[in-house]
Homo-oligomer: A and B are copies of this chain.
């Protein structure tokens, strides 16, 4: 099965095809370079061509044509993922969905949108229409697409209230095109959603999305400082457990993250300052003030509606989730990160244990997350990278203590997830992508069903630029 790139390109030449080599290279990349491990392996990966369909009909045409010519297709939104989700490991076609960005319908509590719509544009449309917004978004809200968030993300700002994307009710419907001789268009709801959400586009291409909405408020963004790290963690947890106080973000940064990596915050904190980033609904600010007043060790140092800082910090959520690592990386290129699950009810002792074992080599960055109705933490810990061996060791220390790691130094679905095959995704790939052309190399279960997960998986057909 040798891809006939030239034939596919020729057949698609009436579409929006990128010819410029530099542009092809740039559109073949996502944010994999957060990871030195992925950087070492994926830096040269490049597609043969990039096509940007304008509508579902053109998506079907791309998939049908590439199917006919055995050309791999890796689909992307803005390419802000950190797991190499959108890296075209086998080359071929990158399908860029930027033209498919229409917001089709907004109703109370729900929106229908095309996958290429930027999260910020989607929110703007919903707010403008009826004072609504999406329940959760990645910290790359300003640049990422809703389709990329669903296909490659798991949760984010808002997950402290609404849980994760995979939780029932957080995606209503997905319209999906298969990659077959005659592509089919399917509508997924309920149990079927799990087939293609967070599947990196390995088994179908999402062309329409129906999502629930929440009311849009003028969120008050804040920074709160504490001297003690566990005080900060408890503050965030206890605030999230206040059922009457509506929040959208509660993120905790171990000292000296704020001083060392948050340039506009640095003048207002010391090296020993632990920081909490918050988004609170305006009508919950009275309740928040009471909550804060009960904790004399916590100091409110910034609020977006009444700032006395010479230079404002920008959006507070752009310090949280994956932006924390981005800010640290910009100051110290040797920083990388982990994604850890600190599950209820062991979350606080586990965090304390990891911190005692690993700080300051690993600095705690926590995000409040709801799972199964309980407040817990996702850890997007900052790691001072020394070697792959040491990084693996750090992962192992977490896992042995009982903290699950979603390893962001792996590019497969399984290794970046729970290290097990998702049978629903695999079964649907058999049906929807019989030639295995969709985002190849990302699903171990497809390529190597007997893989033992005892070392990092290396996709044998990985193709780097010459």
A243 at interface (Cβ–Cβ under 8 A)?
Answer: yes
Contact assessment for B373 and A243 in the assembled complex, using a CB-CB cutoff below 8 Å:
yes
B131–A245 CB distance below 8 A: no
Categorize the interface residue count of chain A.
35 or more
Would you list which residues of chain A between 32 and 70 have a CB under 8 Å from chain B? none
Interface residues of A (CB under 8 A from B): 107-110, 130-131, 135, 161-163, 167-170, 172-173, 189-191, 212-215, 217-218, 240-246, 281-284, 286-291, 293, 370-375
Chain A to chain B: the 8 pairs with minimum beta-carbon distance, closest first: A169-B287, A241-B373, A163-B243, A169-B244, A109-B283, A168-B287, A167-B244, A170-B244
Partner of A243, one of B162, B241, B291: B162
A169 touches which of B135, B191, B242, B375 (Cβ 8 Å): B242
A239 to B422 CA separation, bound complex (whole angstroms):
24
Query: For the complex, what is the distance from the CA of A189 to the CA of B130, rounded to whole Å?
Result: 30
**Cα of A132 to Cα of B189 in the assembled complex, Å:** 28
> Which single member of B241, B286, B370 contacts A172 (CB below 8 Å)?
B286
- Residues of B close to A169: CB separation below 8 A: 242, 244-246, 283-284, 286-288
Q: Do residues A168 and B215 form an inter-chain contact, with CB atoms below 8 A?
A: no
Inter-subunit contact A168/B108 (CB<8 Å): no
Q: Which residues of B contact A240 (CB under 8 A)?
A: 373
Closest to A166 in B: B244
A339 vs chain B, min Cβ distance (A)? 19
Q: In this complex, what residue of B is CB-closest to A111?
A: B283
| Alpha-carbon distance A288/B107, docked complex (angstroms) | 19
For the A-B complex with A163-B243, A169-B246, A212-B244 known, give 15 more contacts whose Cβ atoms are closer than 8 Å.
A107-B283, A108-B131, A108-B217, A108-B218, A110-B283, A163-B244, A167-B242, A168-B244, A168-B291, A169-B286, A169-B288, A213-B283, A214-B215, A215-B215, A241-B373
When chains A and B are docked, how far (Å) is the Cα of A161 from the Cα of B162? 11
